[in-house]
C-alpha cells in the first residue's frame, strides 16, 4: 500500500515523530507529492515496463507479427538516511525558557534529512555512492523519454516543454520539476507570448505555477552547470508521474523514526536520532521524461 508522508504523519500518535515528519515533508515539494510503498527487507525487485509492443490490422489468412511489450528486471535497495542531534544539558536547562533548544536542534536535523533526500532524489548515483540510491537523473534512461535541447545546449522554448510532456505516456505528468533559472525562463516565455501564467495551490496551501494545468515545482538540487557538448551551463527539466507499482514511487521500511537515544556517556548532553530506511523506484520508464541541455539565455 502506498501512502503520502503527509498522511502518514496524521496517523502517528507520537507528537515528536509527527512534528519531524511534517517538517521533513514541508521542506521539500518532492515529498509532498511522492507516494511511499512500505516493503519488507532491504531491497525490492520489480519489473520495469519499457515499451508497450504493437498492434496492427491483418488481412484474412495473413501471417501475424508478434510484438510483445518489453520489460527490464530492476532491483531497488534501501539506503540508511538520518542524523543525530545532540543538545548540551547545560544549554537546554539555562536557555530553554526562551526557546526549547532540543526542539530547535530536532527541527534543524529534520530539515537536513529532507534536503538530503531531495538531493538524492534528483542526482543520486548508487555507483558513485553505494550508501545512497539512484535518483531520477540516473533512473530515466530510455532514449525515447529524453528530449535534447541541442547538441551544445539551447535556449528553452515552449515547444521543448510540450515535447517533454508528450513523451510521458498514460496521461499528463503530475509535475514539471526544474531549477529556479528554468522556471524564470519559462515564466518569461509565457508572459512574452501574452499567455497568462496559471496559478494553483499545493496540498500545503502554497501557490504554485502551472503549465497546461501541470504544477511547476523547483528544486535547489537541479543545477545549472550540466555539461552538454561544448556548454557547461545547462540544466535539466523533468516531467514526472507518481504512483506505486505504476510510475515513480518512494520505498521505505518502517517509515521515518525518531529515536530518543538519551544521555551520552562521553559528554553532558542528550541525543535524538532521526532514521529513515528509504529508496526510490521507477516502475515504468514511459511515465517519466527529461529535457536536457537547457541554457539560461
> Is residue 7 domain-shared with residue 21, that is, in the same domain?
yes
Q: Which residues are within 8 A (CB) of 237 and not within 5 positions of it... i.e. 6 or more apart? A: 156, 161, 164, 176, 177, 178, 182, 290, 291, 294
Residue pair 275/259 in contact (Cβ under 8 Å)? The answer is: yes
CATH of the domain at 15: 3.30.2400.30
> Is residue 121 domain-shared with residue 168, that is, in the same domain?
no
The verdict on residue 61 lying in a domain is no
> Is residue 266 domain-shared with residue 123, that is, in the same domain?
yes
> Is residue 45 domain-shared with residue 111, that is, in the same domain?
yes
pLDDT of 82: 95
- For the cut 90, the answer to whether the pLDDT of residue 30 exceeds it is yes
The verdict on residue 58 lying in a domain is no
What Å distances lie between residue 33 and 52, 96, 174, 217, 223, CA to CA? 26, 35, 9, 11, 21
Helix axes 101-123, 15-26, angle to 10 degrees: 40
The verdict on residue 204 lying in a domain is yes
245 vs 136, which has greater pLDDT?
A: 136
pTM over 0.75: yes
> Is residue 195 domain-shared with residue 165, that is, in the same domain?
yes
> Is residue 173 domain-shared with residue 202, that is, in the same domain?
yes
pLDDT digits (tens, 9 = 90+) for 85-102: 888 888 888 876 666 788
> Is residue 120 domain-shared with residue 264, that is, in the same domain?
yes
The verdict on residue 59 lying in a domain is no
The verdict on residue 60 lying in a domain is no
> Is residue 150 domain-shared with residue 234, that is, in the same domain?
yes
pLDDT of 60: 94
**Phi and psi torsions of 225, nearest 5°:** -125, 25
Query: Domain residues for 160?
Result: 141-241+287-295
> Is residue 131 domain-shared with residue 276, that is, in the same domain?
yes
- Total structural domains within the chain: 2
The verdict on residue 55 lying in a domain is no
The verdict on residue 202 lying in a domain is yes
Region of residue 103 (left: phi > 0; alpha: psi -120 to 50; beta: else): alpha
> Is residue 159 domain-shared with residue 172, that is, in the same domain?
yes
pLDDT of 195: 64
| Cell numbers representing residue 35 in the block | 507516494
- For the cut 90, the answer to whether the pLDDT of residue 139 exceeds it is yes
> Is residue 96 domain-shared with residue 234, that is, in the same domain?
no
Residue pair 269/87 in contact (Cβ under 8 Å)? The answer is: yes
Question: What CA–CA distance (Å, rounded) separates 102 from 62?
Answer: 76
- For the cut 70, the answer to whether the pLDDT of residue 118 exceeds it is yes
The verdict on residue 62 lying in a domain is no
Question: What percentage of the chain exceeds 70 in pLDDT?
Answer: 93
Find cell 545512497 and name the residue: 132
Residues 26-37 have a mean pLDDT of 92
> Is residue 96 domain-shared with residue 8, that is, in the same domain?
yes
Amino acid at each position: 500500500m502506498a501512502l503520502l508522508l503527509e498522511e502518514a504523519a496524521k496517523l502517528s500518535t507520537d507528537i515528536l515523530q509527527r512534528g519531524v515528519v511534517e517538517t521533513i515533508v514541508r521542506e521539500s515539494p518532492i515529498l509532498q507529492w511522492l507516494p511511499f510503498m512500505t516493503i519488507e527487507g532491504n531491497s525490492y525487485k520489480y519489473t520495469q515496463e519499457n515499451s508497450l509492443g504493437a498492434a496492427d490490422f491483418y488481412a484474412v489468412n495473413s501471417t501475424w507479427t508478434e510484438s510483445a511489450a518489453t520489460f527490464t528486471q530492476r532491483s531497488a535497495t534501501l539506503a540508511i538516511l538520518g542524523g543525530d542531534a545532540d543538545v548540551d544539558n547545560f544549554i537546554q536547562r539555562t536557555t530553554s525558557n526562551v526557546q526549547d533548544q532540543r526542539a530547535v536542534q530536532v527541527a534543524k536535523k529534520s530539515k537536513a534529512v529532507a534536503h538530503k533526500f531531495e538531493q538524492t532524489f534528483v542526482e543520486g548515483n548508487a555507483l558513485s555512492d553505494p550508501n545512497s540510491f539512484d535518483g531520477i537523473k540516473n533512473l530515466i534512461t530510455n532514449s525515447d523519454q529524453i528530449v535534447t535541447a541541442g547538441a551544445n545546449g539551447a535556449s528553452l522554448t515552449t515547444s521543448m516543454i510540450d515535447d517533454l510532456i508528450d513523451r510521458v505516456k498514460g496521461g499528463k505528468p503530475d509535475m514539471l520539476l526544474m531549477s529556479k533559472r528554468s522556471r524564470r525562463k519559462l515564466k518569461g516565455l509565457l508572459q512574452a507570448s501574452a499567455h497568462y501564467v496559471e496559478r494553483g495551490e499545493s496540498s500545503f496551501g502554497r501557490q504554485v505555477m502551472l503549465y497546461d494545468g501541470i504544477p511547476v515545482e523547483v528544486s535547489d538540487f537541479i543545477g545549472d552547470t550540466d555539461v552538454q557538448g561544448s556548454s557547461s551551463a545547462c540544466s535539466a527539466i523533468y516531467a514526472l508521474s507518481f504512483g506505486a507499482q505504476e510510475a515513480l514511487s518512494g520505498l521505505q521500511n518502517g517509515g521515518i523514526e525518531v529515536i530518543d537515544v538519551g544521555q551520552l556517556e562521553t559528554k553532558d548532553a542528550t541525543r535524538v536520532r532521526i532514521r529513515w530506511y528509504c529508496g526510490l523506484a521507477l516502475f515504468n520508464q514511459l511515465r517519466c521524461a527529461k529535457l536536457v541541455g537547457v541554457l539560461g539565455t
